[in-house]
Structure 1
Amino acid sequence: MKIGTIILAAGASTRMGGEPKQLLTYKGQSLIRRITDTALALQTGPVIVVLGANRERIAPELASLPITLVDNEAWQTGMASSLKMGLAALYITNKDIDAVLILLTDQPLVSVGLLQFMLETYVSENKGIVACRYDDQLGVPALFDRKYIEQMLQLEGDKGAKWVIIKHRQDCAEVPFEAGAIDLDSKRDVELFALAQTGATPS
């Protein structure tokens, strides 16, 4: 089974005051390097990383890794453009892929074990989508059977993978991942996450 992975990392981190959240560190690694290493450890197929804002600062973190870097110059139009760029890059060179795994950089607790469990669920549940459940919602990391690629290529604006999950809820298997709710979107998120790691209480 051949699974392609797309890591969406094109955003400008506006709520971080302009500091790229992709370069935040957790356990001595930048978030972008961490999620890319995690994806590569699966060894299930090609890994595509979509960059946009701050590309020149982020790309060096991934130097020498066996991945494909895609530059989304239209990143400001929303997540759909990054997803479509990643899918196009993946599908042009790998028409034989069985499914696509979608990852973000700002969920620091995504592990190889979680992704492997998602792949196992995809095989055992015989569903076209496997999505993670946290905070009473379904979202990424998410795995999509190749039959959904065409539909994802039609997305516009801020419609991303979650929109496809909601639309095809009956064809979606769930994997519990409460830590998926940890989403480092703002400086406050980062502070609270750092405190949680040390066991301190927020001020």
Structure 2
Amino acid sequence: MLRIGTIILAAGDSSRMGGEPKQLISYKGQSLLRRVTESALALQRGPVVVVLGANRAQIVPELNGLPITLVDNSSWPTGQASSLKTGLAALYIINKDIDAILVLHTDQPLVSLGLLQHMVDVQNEEGKGIVACRYDTQISVPALFNRNYINELLQLEGDKGVKWVIVRHRSDCSEVPFEAGAIDLDSKRDLDLFQQVITHTL
């Protein structure tokens, strides 16, 4: 069975939310961070690491009681790459024998256990080194990388995220349709629009 180490990137300061931590936005009675973390744990494939930075004191209580590893990235203002590296280092310390890395963000509210399991199934069936989600015009997170890509992920700098690795290796990437991934709560406008959609569909 594929043993997966999951990295949840939750270090940003939510500047476009006016300083309110988007990790704590509530959806269906849970914060976005708690939801995505519980989905990762429910996959039951290996260790889960949550990378924190800004607003740590507010965020930590949301994860109380969960069997996860919290790591701090003091360099979070330099960009997403530093958080990814922090998470990879933590996974290496916890378990050097993982087969793959799953990278998740906290601002995609419709990521589910079903989606994550489907990604694992696609990897098993197609055998590609990367499984990533397609929405809008992009291929991005959630994304699963086999361990052969760890060194390349560690070479990312600044604001370069995992998309840079995916684009360079499209021939080794299986795509999973996930149109709901386009819902990315990055600003107050995004949140307002999402809440309107949810209200109208209830």
Work out whether the TM-score is over 0.5.
yes
Give the CA deviation at 1:62.
0.3
Gaps of 5+ in 2: none
Q: Which residue of the partner structure matches residue 167 of structure 2? A: 166
Gaps of 5+ in 1: none
User: Which amino acid counterpart does residue 172 of structure 1 have in structure 2?
Assistant: C
Q: Deviations over 1:93-134 (max 9, x none)?
A: 211100000000000000100000000001111100000000
Distance 1:198 1:77 in 2: 37
Output aligned runs, 1:45-194, within 5 Å: 45-194=46-195
Q: Which residue of the partner structure matches residue 199 of structure 2? A: 198
User: Which amino acid counterpart does residue 56 of structure 1 have in structure 2?
Assistant: A
Large movers: runs of 4+ above 4 Å: none
User: Which amino acid counterpart does residue 177 of structure 2 have in structure 1?
Assistant: P
Q: CA RMSD in A?
A: 0.8
Q: Which residue of the partner structure matches residue 13 of structure 1? A: 14
Give the CA deviation at 1:166.
0.5
User: Which amino acid counterpart does residue 30 of structure 2 have in structure 1?
Assistant: Q
Distance 2:96 2:6 in 1: 14
Aligned residues: 200
Distance 1:118 1:174 in 2: 9
Give the CA deviation at 1:92.
2.0
Q: What percent of counterpart residues are identical?
A: 72
Distance 2:94 2:126 in 1: 28
Normalised by the length of structure 1, the TM-score is 0.97
Give the CA deviation at 1:78.
0.2
